[in-house]
Amino acid sequence: MKETCHGTFREDVLHKKGLVLVDFWAPWCAPCRMITPVLEEVASDFSGKLDVLKLNVDESPELAMFFKIQSIPALILFKD
């Protein structure tokens, strides 16, 4: 799984054609770490159909606020 951040989010997600699943997470969040293997499997199973990206909310708090993320883990599916 690839990581995205505030500087690359527009290119990685908003201007990407197709489906992009973004995992809003933080390294200190135990549930976030628990779902990582499942997301890696989803990324593998849907390779070529779906991109799965991680966004660290501690490193990009402005994006978390923009998308109204109030608790993590939070997943948002973007299309085109």
Measured in residues, the chain has a length of 80
- List 13, 20, 22, 32, catalytic entry: 32
- Among the options 29, 35, 42, 43, which is catalytic? 29
Asked about 32 being catalytic, the answer comes back as yes
Interatomic CA distance for residues 12 and 22, integer angstroms: 10
Query: Residue 78 burial (CB < 10 Å; 0-12/13-18/19+)?
Result: middle
Q: Is 5 a catalytic residue?
A: no
As annotated, the active-site residues are 29, 32
